[in-house]
Amino acid sequence: MAKQYWLMKSEPDAYAWDQLVHDGTGMWDGVRNHTAKLNMMAMKVGDEAFFYHSNIGKECVGIMRVTEESFPDPTAEPGSPWVVVRVAPVRALTHPVTLAAIKADPKLADMDLIRQSRLSVGRVTPDEWKHILKKSEKAEG
């Protein structure tokens, strides 16, 4: 299957990009939403995801790679349906791409991030992925 792309949100207060870079790898735990869970279950090793800082920053700050496919969330009650994936940082974006910049771009208006603002793990199409990468190379969104 072709590589898939994702966007994963975290409040930097709780878990920030710098922390993931520092750790070298991270378990994406604590997801308690079924749509997000299904997305995580669809992830394959090698898929890439934007790390998005919600609430504080409200911007995509880096790229990470899925290194281990979904398995039961050890922070959840035994028998509950929640899962985690393991991720590793690939690189920081040259410039963060803000939510405002994404909203302002008609090409990105249909993203999960926009249409379902509360979804913490969303799909990104290859076109959207490329487009956001291109934006991240420019100084302003």
Partner DNA sequence: GCCAACGTTGGC
Binding interface with DNA (CB under 7 A): 9, 11, 32-35, 54-55, 58, 99-100, 103, 115-120
Work out how close the CB of 73 gets to DNA at its nearest, in angstroms, rounded to a whole number: 14
Nearer to DNA among residue 24 and residue 140 (C-beta): 140
Burial of 65 (0-12, 13-18, 19+ CB in 10 A): middle
CB of 123 to DNA, least distance (A): 15
Q: Which is nearer to DNA, 11 or 127 (CB)?
A: 11
Q: Could you tell me the sign of the dihedral formed by the alpha carbons of 76, 40, 45, 128, in that order? A: negative
Q: How far is the CB of 66 from DNA (least distance, A)?
A: 19
The set of residues, in sequence order, having a beta carbon less than 8 Å from that of 87 and lying 6+ positions away, is: 8, 20, 25, 26, 28, 49, 64, 65, 66, 67
Residue 25 vs 33, nearer CB to DNA? 33
Could you tell me if 111 and 50 are in contact, meaning their C-beta atoms sit under 8 angstroms apart? no
Q: Which is nearer to DNA, 52 or 129 (CB)?
A: 52
Q: Which lies closer to DNA via its Cβ, residue 1 or residue 118?
A: 118
Q: Which two tokens stand for residue 50?
A: 């934007």
Q: How far is the CB of 30 from DNA (least distance, A)?
A: 8
Number of C-beta neighbours around residue 124 at 10 A: 22
Output the smallest distance, CB 10 to DNA, in A: 8
